[in-house]
Structures are given as C-alpha cells and as structure tokens.
Structure 1
Amino acid sequence: MNHIALKMLMGDKGKYLGIVMGLTFASLIMTQQPAIFVGLMARSYSFISDVGLPDIWVMDPKVQFIDDIKPMQDTELYRVRGISGVEWAMPLYKGMLKARLTDGTFQTCNVIGLDDTTLIGGPAVMLEGKLSDLRRSDGVIVDIDGAKDKLGKAAASPDGKNTPLKIGDSLELNDRRAIIVGIAKVTRTFQSQPVIYTTYSRAKAYAPRERRLLSFVVVKAKPGQNLDELTRRITATTGLAAYTQDGFKQLTYNYFLKNTGIPINFGITIALGFIVGTAIAGQTFYNFTLENLRQFGVLKAMGASNGTLLRMILLQAVLVGSIGYGMGVGIAALFGFLMRHTILAFKMPWQLLLFSGAGISLICIMAALISIMKVIRLEPAIVFKS
C-alpha cells in the first residue's frame, strides 16, 4: 500500500511539486525570519558578550539596557571594590562620540574606555597590533568593520569605495587627536556604529565635560563566591544596580522585546508565511485527493480499511513535509552563510529548527486532515459512477 500511495502522490508531478514548493516557502519564511530576529536581538547585548571576563556589571539603578548610560561618580568604583567577595572591580566608559574624519565629515562612534592598567574589557580578537598598544600616546583601537566602512578614508577611485583605516592613521574625537594603533574584530552592535577602544583616562578626555563619567563597574567575583548573593550584597551596600552577565543580557533583551516593534513586525511576517504555506499545501493536497477519489474508492471496494487509507495519506503528507522542510531550512541556512560578512543580522540556533519543524508538521497535519475526512466518508460505489 505504501508503494501505491507514493505512486499516486508522484503521478501528477505538477501538484506534487506545488505541494513541495508551498511547504518549502513556509519552511523558509518560518526559519529565515526568526533567524534574523534572533540575530538582531543577540546584537542588542553583543557588547556584553564581547566583554566576557567580568562576572557582574554594576550601574546606576535606572539603566534599562546596555546603551542606556546613566553616568556615576568615580568614587562608586572604590565602594564596590571594598565589598566582601569581590576579587577585582574595574571602571568602564561607554559613550557615543562624534569622530571627525580626515575629509572633514563626522561619524558617530561607540567609544569604550578601558582601565588604564589592566585594559580589562578590551577586544578578544586583535587583527593588527596589540591591546597593550593602547598605552601609546593618543592610541585607539578600531573595529575592522568600522575601519573598512564608516571610518574609511574617502577615495578618488571610480568605484567610490573608501580606503580602510590602517595603523598610523588618525582621526579626531572632541577636537583631540586619536591615532590608530590596532584593528580588532568585534561583534556587530544593534546600532552597527563603529567601535573605538581607548584607555579610561583618555576616554574621559574625549568625552564632553561632565561631573560624572563612569558608565559601568565590571566586577570579578572571588572563586567559589555565589554570584546572585554577591549582586544582592553590592546592591544593598552601594544602592547601585548589579547584574550577572546573563542577567544584564536578559535586561537588555527584554527592553528591546517590550519597547520596540521588532517582535510584532517579524511575528506578522512569520504568521503570513504559515498562512500562505497552509493555504497552498492544503488546497493543493485537497485537490490531489479529489482527483484520486476513484482510486481510493477502488481500494475501499477491494477491502482496504479506513485505517489503511489513513496511513497512505499520512505517508504522503510526511513525505512532502520532510522534503519541503529540508529544502526550506537548507535555503535559509545558505542565505545565512552568504550573508555572514554583511551588516545583516542572522543567527540560527537549533531551537529554531524545532520551531520551523513544528510549524511544517502542523501544516501537513491540517492538510492531511482535510483529505482524510473526504476519504473516510467516501462510498466504494463511486467506482461504478460515470
């Protein structure tokens, strides 16, 4: 019976391909769009991930996400260092400053100030130069994407492409000279602004004059110290907000999830993909069943039970569902691979495969149920009707 079911399914190649293409489209949309959404949300806390060494982030209690900077006084650093369970605590400056390029144009940059002595929080992957080169006079490190694109020097070439910054080039930050001493690889941020690393003292000189310039205090807990307990102790002692690294990521993620239209926009797209896939696959599968009612009637007249016919239809649905799901996921993965070096955010965790697989399974079940009800109600006498 399985062989007969497959012959019936593939006998009409047009409808067979129509069902497969409909499921492929649905699988593609339900995999690609969530992957872009996940990638975009991951970028919202990418800076926290890049600064991987600290266990705890300490900040003003009103901070809502990583880029919502509420500066503190430098004295807060020493208060945090004095708390039991803290192995070390270092200052971190983070701010958006305008860089003046060699051609006179301005570009907003994400400036990161690292502790002058330890340089904790610096980029993990250096493509050119060394992190210790930040100690040179006026030294800064620029991320590779910013150096190639937004901070690149205007070129007179016919293609209009910028010449990437290189070690030894300079730019201005708040009318102060900054010399490129290194090129680093960092994860793209949500705003995709160029990232510039420098020392904490130099970052304070670049920043506009304010009484408070300390953005965060990054903390390493002593070995064996419970992180949740230490965060509560820091909050109770200083009155500041303290989050573990995962907790700060969750705070940032939840802010973008609740206060932007990104989830709604992607949700609508995914829902439309599901609806269109259901409509195409369901209608085509139903038409396929109608055209093969006579064959199902013959099988019933020959003694085939409803259970046997049910298994035949389910086999057909599983086959086209598996092919469509595989092709859709494959195209989505290929899309992500081709876009890996572009500004597009794309991240496809294994949980996403389960999500799209569940969606395709639901479409196939709905399409099969429509056909199953028609076949179960079928009278074998249809064979003898003209």
Structure 2
Amino acid sequence: MIYLDYQATTPLAPEAREAMLPWLGGPETIGFANPHSPHRPGRAAAAAVELAREQVAALMPPGGRVIFTGSATEALNLAILGSGARRLAVSAIEHAAVLDTARAAAGELRVLPVDADGLVNPATRFDDVDLVSVMQVNNEIGTIQPVEQLAQAAHAAGALFVCDAVQGAGKLAPPANADMIAVSAHKLYGPKGIGALWVRDGVELSPQMHGGGQEAALRSGTLSPMLCAGFGAAARLAGERREEDAAHVGRLWQAARAILSRWTLNGSPTERWHGNINLRLEGLDVARLMSEVRDVAFSAGSACASGSGRTSHVLTAIGLDARQAKGSIRLGFGRYTGSRECEDACARLETAAAAQGV
C-alpha cells in the first residue's frame, strides 16, 4: 500500500513513539501516574507534560501559553466560544471545526469569500467584527492564506484573530500576530487524541469544559503524559526538520505534477503547501478510480467529509461546479513518502484515469 493521504493524518514518527513508550508502563512501573497528583510519580509525569508543552510552544510565536486539548477541534471550540465573541468572520473554506463552531456561537456570522485560487483578499476590512478566524493552510487544496495581513486587519478593527494552523504547524512559520492558534499532533507526525491551543498573553477565555480545572482552569480533564510526550517529540522533530521536510515534499510535488501534467490543479499554483496536491479531470469517475487503484491510499476530499455524499464546500467556494468537484482527488505526501513510491502511485492513477477515457 502506498499512503498518499497526509492531510487526513500523518504516520507516527519513530521518535514520537519512543518518547511515548515510558508512559505506557504497567503496574510494575510508575509511567502510568496521574500528572496532576502531588506524589513523586505524579510529579515525574507532570514534568513530562511540561517538557512537551515547551516543545509545542517552540513552534509558536513568543509571548503566549499552550493549553493541551483532546484535538484541534476542541481547541477551536475553546478559542471561538471561549472568547465570548458574538460578531464573527470566517473564511468560506474553513474546516467544519471552525464553520460549525462559528454557527453554534449564535451571533452574527460573516463568511469571507475566496478567489479562484482559494485566497481571502488580504485587504479585507473587519468593521463591526469581534473575532476573525482564517486557517493557515487549507486541508483540501493546500492554499496558504495571507494570515498575518488578515490578523493585522482584524486588530485594526479591534477584533481577535484565530488561526487554524493544523496543516501548517511544523511546516511553516507560525502566524506571528495571531491571538490564538490551534494545532493537532497527528498532522505533524504525532499521536491521535491530542491537540493544543496557543493563547497570546493577555487574551482572556472562558472554559468550555468544566471539572477539575486542569490546564490553567481552561480545560478540565486528566492529561495523558503518553500523548503529551509524543506530541512534544513530534513538534521538536518538526522544528528541526522543517527545511529538510519542505525540500523533500517540493521534490515530490514536482514529480507528481510531471506525471499528472494533464490534470487541472485546484487552488493556487504558488501560494500553497507542496505536500498537498488537489487535481481534477473532466468526466473522471473518482469512485471507480479508487476501486481500481486500491493499493494507493488517497482522498476524494477531506477525511472528515468523505462518505457524506456532499459536494466539497471548499471546491464550490473556488468556483467549481458539482461535476468538477466530484471529479477531483487529493494527494498528500510528506516526510516518509519515498520518491519512487510517489511516482509509481501517480503513474497508476494516470493509467487508470486514461482507461476511463477521460
């Protein structure tokens, strides 16, 4: 099986797995201890959590704190609902974790359009808005948004700026002037089941989960030292390998585009993360393609929406009709994708598509 679905999830880095193992201990060890307990084993677990917090914070701008959550979705709920903002502006191609949370806030919602490349206009004004949320890298088409300019415009209007950096964290520099940034471990070679919200100093939030008051009274619940340690190790490695990883996916991108040269690119050809390539062919039967190339794992859309039968809101927002959107596929590659397997997978996809007569 050739895995080309890195936007859905990334493989667990061996270094992250090694960091997690000591905290999987059985009754003969102290690795199972509760990090919120005051005894020695608990303090050891707490130290592992705090080391991980520092490692994740190293991917963020200075002047803020990291709050661990169960996922980036939870982090975005905490940011948007916890801010108390009632007048919201979000881009039309945000993940459902932002769009649905903004709708649930039950205030005024302004949906920001994008152009054919999937970009929000950086000159957008935000009068009469309390909070703006625009993602750094789109999970479906790989477009990199002008988040720093948008954050500046939000601040000029007195609004907070939230950034879903799930697809960009560890790959790109963080948005330096965001007020809150949501990230997920399993999108940067860490474990599933843990995310984080970075909150700039001075930003006040109300907790959305109540209980023991862990995580600076903003997120209750016992933390997993194992998941925190894996997240921290993955974040450290991502920071160390950022340029190397970017160069690698750049080479894979060039190889994929050379083989799939007749396919039309969805999204910006320049303002994008090269680990994501979303392509379409007129008349392509994607379900048949997936059936015929079963040994290649790729996506017909985001993993969260696949199987729903709905046309991608991202592809319709950039101007594609339903037929074009349903004839689109997403390939995602990264650190552990080999050049030969990427080329082989693309060749198989091209051959199978050509056999359909498209």
TM-score category of the 2 structures, normalised to the smaller one: under 0.3
Q: TM-score, normalised by structure 2?
A: 0.27
What TM-score comes out, normalization by structure 1 length?
0.26
Highest CA radius of gyration, 1 or 2? 1
Q: Greater relative contact order: 1 or 2 (C-alpha under 8 angstroms, separation 6 or more)?
A: 1
Structure with greater proportional helix content: 1
